[in-house]
Structure 1
Amino acid sequence: MSKYLTEDLAIEILVRLSTKDLARFKCVSKTWRDLINDRGFLERYQNISPAKFVSFYDKDLYMLDVESKRPAITNPLKLDFPLDQSMIDESTCVLHCDGTLCVTLKNHTLMVWNPSSKQFKIVPNPGICNDSNILGFGYDPVHDDYKVVTFIDRLDASTARVFEFRTGTWRDSLRIPKPDWHYRDREGTTLDQYLYWIAYRSNTDRFILCFNLSTHEYQKIPLPVYNQGVTCSWLGVTSQKLCITEYETCKKEIKVSVMDKTGSSWNKIISLSTSSFISVLDRIYDYDVEFVSLTKKNDLVVTFTGYKDVVDMETEERMKTKVFLYNTRNETFEQVQFCNSLPGLRFLLECVETPKITNRIFT
Structure 2
Amino acid sequence: MHTFRSPKKILLRHANNDDIKRAQDFYTLHGKDELLLCLERGYNGITRDKFPCSTFVRIVGSCYRTFFLKINNNLSLWNPSIRHKLSVPKCPQKPDELETFPWAGIGLGFDPIGDDYKIVWISESRKSSFVYAVKTGAWCEIASPTPQFSYVLPKAVFFNGVLHWEIHCDHIKSQDIYLPSYILTFDLSTHVFGMIRLPEPDWCWRTTGLTTIQSSLALISYRMDVDDTWIRVWRDNSWYVVFKLGTYQLPIEGALQLKPQPNINDGDLLLKTFEEGVQVYNPKTRL
TM range (shorter): 0.7 to 0.9
Partner of 1:292: 258
Q: Residues 232 and 246 of structure 1 are in contact (CA less than 8 Å); yes or no, is this contact kept in structure 2?
A: yes
Does 2:168 match 1:200? Answer: yes
CA distance in 2, matches of 1:54, 1:288: 17
Q: Residue 139 of structure 1 aligns with which residue?
A: 110
1:109 aligns with 2:77: no
Structure 2 CA distance for aligned equivalents of residues 227 and 326 of structure 1: 28
Q: How far is the alpha carbon of 1:246 from its aligned partner?
A: 1.3
TM-score, normalised relative to structure 2? 0.76
Q: Report Cα offsets for 1:310-354 as digits up to 9, x if no partner.
A: xxxxxxxxxx9975543223214xxxxxxxxxxxxxxxxxxxxxx
Q: Of 259, 268, 272, which residue of structure 2 is paired with 1:303?
A: 272
Q: Which moved more, 1:62-71 or 1:174-183?
A: 62-71
Aligned pair in 2 of structure 1 residues 304, 186: CA closer, same or farther (>3 Å)?
A: farther
Query: Which consecutive unaligned segments of at least 5 residues does structure 2 have?
Result: 17-23, 170-176
Shift of the 162–193 alpha-carbon distance from structure 1 to 2, 3 Å rule, reads same
1:170 partner amino acid: W
- Tell whether 2:32 aligns with 1:100: no
- Displacement of 1:232: 3.0
> Shift of the alpha carbon at 1:300?
2.1
The offset of 1:233, in angstroms, is 2.2
Is the 1:198–1:207 Cα contact (8 Å) retained in structure 2? Answer: yes
Is 1:124 paired with 2:92? no
CA distance in 2, matches of 1:265, 1:178: 22
- Aligned counterpart, 1:162: 131
Moved more, 227-236 or 211-220: 227-236
Q: Using the aligned pairs only, state the percent identity.
A: 21
2:10 aligned to 35, 49, 52, which one?
52
Instruction: State the alpha-carbon separation in 1 of the partners of residues 178 and 29 from structure 2.
Output: 33
Q: Which runs of 5+ in 1 are unaligned?
A: 1-36, 306-319, 333-363
Tell me which amino acid in the other structure corresponds to 1:144: D
Please state if 1:251 is matched with 2:251: no
- Cα 1:229–1:150, aligned 2, differ >3 Å: closer, same or farther? farther
Partner residue of 2:216? 241
SS of the residue corresponding to residue 93 of structure 1 reads: strand
**Residues 158 and 238 (structure 1 numbering): CA distance in 2 closer, same or farther, change over 3 Å?**
farther
Listed one character per residue, the Cα deviations across residues 185-244 of structure 1 (whole Å, up to 9, x for unaligned) are 321111121000111248562111111111211111022348796223211112432111
Q: Distance in 2 between matches of 1:288 and 1:266?
A: 26
State the secondary structure of the residue aligned to 1:148: strand
Over alpha carbons, which structure has the higher Rg? 1
> Cα deviations across residues 31-74 of structure 1 (Å, max 9, x unaligned)?
xxxxxx8xxxx65x36xx44413424224241353742663252
Contact 2:207/2:219, CA 8 A, preserved across alignment: no
1:82 aligned residue (34, 49, 52): 52
Give the letter aligned to residue 302 of structure 1: L
Larger RCO: 1 or 2 (CA < 8 Å, sep 6+): 1
Q: Is the 8 A contact 1:153 1:159 kept in 2?
A: no
Aligned partners of 2:239 and 2:12: how far apart in 1? Answer: 28
In 2, distance between residues paired with 1:271 and 1:66?
Answer: 27
Write out aligned runs for 1:167-182 (5 A).
167-176=136-145, 179-182=148-151
Task: Give the count of matched residue pairs.
Answer: 258
Counterparts of 1:191 and 1:179 in 2: how far apart (Å)? 23
Report the alpha carbon displacement of residue 96 of structure 1 after superposing the two structures with TM.
Answer: 1.4
